[in-house]
Structure 1
């Protein structure tokens, strides 16, 4: 016979992804506990190895309150993937997602739960863009970016969702479990990912809330977030067959062509065509270097190399891409000289082989995920 449980099984799990949010953890726990009185709940913080000790603060609180849990991720980073791992780690039938910076209105949680269960919905969204909601004290530039991203998301979803960029929502666990394998887990917009991965249209309702100003710390939104959002949209268009990192890698590779030509042209203008070999060598090295740093900053943002690893990463990237360039030329020349295809398709085949090689090899040897210690 089983011993009596210290607390009932959770009816609602609140998932809070964190990165450097130590100063707000206590307030999040206190506010959630206050508004969810009378409801069996658990609070799951998913921390991406914050250097400020966020995970340690959660551990200390969890020692006193078993309803508070921690998922401490090592070698992984990203809001969407953190939310997915947190949701899949709970047995609660209802899941809520909210930020750990106190900008989402936790007092809406009981109302979201009541509406979700009463109206037999799949999902309830905390919305800034329905009557009664608002974005608070956002600067004009951020409001413009949010409106543009919202319009793009609405076009992709083909659903009358006023705030597809919201990071504050409540969903039935069975809905997440049904579509989680089709979710990309890329970027910051988990709600858009969830909607686009669902095979059937989701039954939803939006409830208004006003976005609060950040109380502590500083916003982690930057231009890389916009990049990740565009990548997620691109993958939703082309489908899951092509990895989103390969899309990013290829886009940056295309930009490298312009860098290459921008370096080669002035060298030839100054030194003449006799310096073509020198110019081509210098331009190739500069383009590879720019590609490496852009991929490190954007494509592999969650595994960014720093310090001594940066030098080794650059060396392995240049070496892999040099071999890829030889494969590119060799394949293209074989197809063209052998009469298998015209110059355009021969060149295209060479570029594709080189790109796949560069992506595959650098993913294994340049941006390696850290191995867990035995």
Structure 2
């Protein structure tokens, strides 16, 4: 009977069918002498990642597979993987071969000494480098993201954007209820949620170039990151999802004004008609952005997209009435126009968020 694992390596995956078998083989070579297991948490990849991982699991009891249906996102996958572990120590690393598995034994040894709660593989400490793993543009963006995290959240890590770390499982269990299942920067979420109470060690590593598949980073992920920063900055008083909804709403205002101008100048519409048309353009933009970003874990597909869009139109129409109604109750004097307008906008936003969550993107 195989011994219980003392180290679990959580591998969040989406479209990594080619990389997972290679990584598992590398783990066998690297972790000789350590009782380990790999927990592949796959977001129902269309490329057959789940099937590839299960094929490995049938031959190797060290490989476990979690297939997530109707739930997406790296942070959520990491949380589920960590909570599925019974080992004393849990590592999180990408399955795209960009993280150096050869560092795992040293990370493991650091934790076993008992003086550290979290070991982070850093590209920013002496000896670490981004190597060929990031383009110049992405490296620039990563530096900005690091700086924002350090300044806004008072995070002392040199590389809070790292997705490669190892933590004591009891610490992961302790903080899990406070973590956001959305987003992709689970390490930043963990460290900021502990508020300086973790004993942290950073080790250098070189970020390698991806060999197979495509990067999952895009513009929407950037918005997701800013939502996490704001949520943590305000002490989790406002959920990441609500902040994402608000950021999308702000982008909708820009879309609305551009569309309004086009309808007035190019289309030669009357103002009321142009305003109405621009509102529907903005609502449509907001719906698709929310579907891709804010509710990515409940993303609508197929015919449900049309049904969801119509529901969203209805929700937002009621939101306008709530906005105007609250503002009208407050507006008794022209001097209060700003307060009235702000209160109405907040009421409309809260209604739109609550109703959209319950009706348009309700949990199945």
Taking structure 1 as the reference length, the TM-score comes to 0.91
Q: Residue 323 of structure 1 aligns with which residue?
A: 318
Q: Residue 162 of structure 2 aligns with which residue?
A: 166
2:4 and 2:87 in contact (8 A); partners too? yes
2:155 and 2:192 in contact (8 A); partners too? no
| Deviations 1:149-195 (CA, angstroms, capped at 9, x unpaired) | 11112223424321111111111111112212222233111111110
Name the CA shift for 1:345/1:54 in 2 (closer, same or farther; >3 Å): same
| Deviations 1:52-102 (CA, angstroms, capped at 9, x unpaired) | 111111112112222211111111111111111100111111111111111
Distance 1:312 1:57 in 2: 34
2:303 to 279, 296, 308: 308
Structure 1 unmatched runs, 5+: 1-5
Matched, 1:187 2:183: yes
2:153 and 2:233 in contact (8 A); partners too? no
Q: Residue 345 of structure 2 aligns with which residue?
A: 351
Matched, 1:142 2:133: no
1:179 and 1:199 in contact (8 A); partners too? no
* TM superposition shift of 1:265: 4.0
Alignment map for 1:1-374 (pairs within 5 Å):
6-118=1-113, 120-137=115-132, 138-265=134-261, 267-268=263-264, 275-337=270-332, 342-369=336-363, 371=364
Distance 2:214 2:354 in 1: 36
Q: CA RMSD in A?
A: 2.1
Comparing 101-110 with 344-353, which one deviates more in the overlay?
Answer: 344-353
Name the CA shift for 1:327/1:56 in 2 (closer, same or farther; >3 Å): same
Name the CA shift for 1:264/1:199 in 2 (closer, same or farther; >3 Å): closer
2:131 and 2:207 in contact (8 A); partners too? yes
Distance 1:295 1:219 in 2: 21
* TM superposition shift of 1:323: 1.2
1:22 and 1:57 in contact (8 A); partners too? yes
Distance 1:151 1:93 in 2: 32
Comparing 344-353 with 12-21, which one deviates more in the overlay?
Answer: 344-353
Structure 2 unmatched runs, 5+: none
Distance 1:124 1:246 in 2: 31
SS at 2:342's partner residue?
A: helix
1:185 and 1:193 in contact (8 A); partners too? no
1:157 and 1:195 in contact (8 A); partners too? no
Q: Count residues with an aligned counterpart.
A: 363
Distance 2:62 2:153 in 1: 35
Taking structure 2 as the reference length, the TM-score comes to 0.93
Distance 1:226 1:97 in 2: 21
* TM superposition shift of 1:132: 1.6
* TM superposition shift of 1:258: 3.1
